[in-house]
Amino acid sequence: MTAKDRARLAAERLKALYPAVSELEHADPFQMLIATILSAQTTDRSVNSVTPTLFARYPDPAALAHANPAEVEAIIKPTGFFHVKAKTIIGASAALLERFNGEVPSRIEDLVTLPGVGRKTANVVLGVAFGIPGFAVDTHVKRLTRRLGLTKSTDPVKIEAEVTKMLPPEEWTGFSLRLILHGRRICLARTPRCPECVLNDFCPSSTVRARGGRRPLTATTTGVRLAHGRRTARKRPRRPGTRH
């Protein structure tokens, strides 16, 4: 099986398990941008615990750009690295005002010019907030693409370039978001839960193999139920008069 075949099969299987969504709570592109910047080196749950207060006090780039850094730091402190993050989100808001009329740009070339915004953050914002194809490479995506044999690189830019050649653009955002969810729930960094993984029959790094060999390409077969990454076929009803 080629790397392209594995990418296609993984995208198909994961689509049946996870929605193509970010777990960062947001109401618009600006909130998505700020939340994604805050998510560095912390969990989405931690970010979601502070953003309601942050956005209630600073609802738009103009408000956040002129915020008192100490007040912003106090709000976002649970996310860690709050001194740097406060400076970054205030600076990004100011840049939006100065260069983009207070609007979050919808081009990656513009997004990466904002403070604290690299290709990963830009691709998340494009895909989630604008519906524009983007393949975000975070630590989970980096780990899973290597375990699946889709790349040998550890460079996020190279991983993005290699994987996006294997799938059509309309699959990029969803595949990236689903890899992140799968990495958080099943393909853990230290102790991957291979027996529960829906990809275990073709993943080169799997420690187990599903019974009955390789499953079919389509993961949404009629009469099949997905549970924890495993598929269980519905039993056929016994005909009257037949023996057990």
For residues 121 and 138, what is the distance between their CA atoms, to the nearest angstrom? 9
For residues 11 and 143, what is the distance between their CA atoms, to the nearest angstrom? 16
> Any residues with CB less than 8 A from the CB of 58 and at least 6 apart, and which?
64, 67, 72, 93
Burial class (CB in 10 A: 0-12, 13-18, 19+), 191: exposed
Q: Is 60 a catalytic residue?
A: no
Q: Give the CB-side neighbour count of residue 96, counting CA atoms within 13 A.
A: 26
DSSP letter string over 11-56? Answer: HHHHHTT--S--SS--SSHHHHHHHHHHTTTS-HHHHHHHHHHHHH
Q: Is 120 a catalytic residue?
A: yes
Strands 224-227 and 230-233: what pairing? antiparallel
Look at residue 230 and give its three-state secondary structure. Answer: strand
Give the CA angle between residues 9, 10, 16 to the nearest 5°. Answer: 95
The beta strands (E) that lie in the chain are given as: 224-227, 230-233
Query: Could you say which of 138, 155, 158, 235 is catalytic?
Result: 138
Q: Which two tokens stand for residue 28?
A: 């618009």
Query: Could you say which of 28, 120, 158, 235 is catalytic?
Result: 120
For residues 209 and 205, what is the distance between their CA atoms, to the nearest angstrom? 10
Q: Which residues carry out catalysis?
A: 120, 138
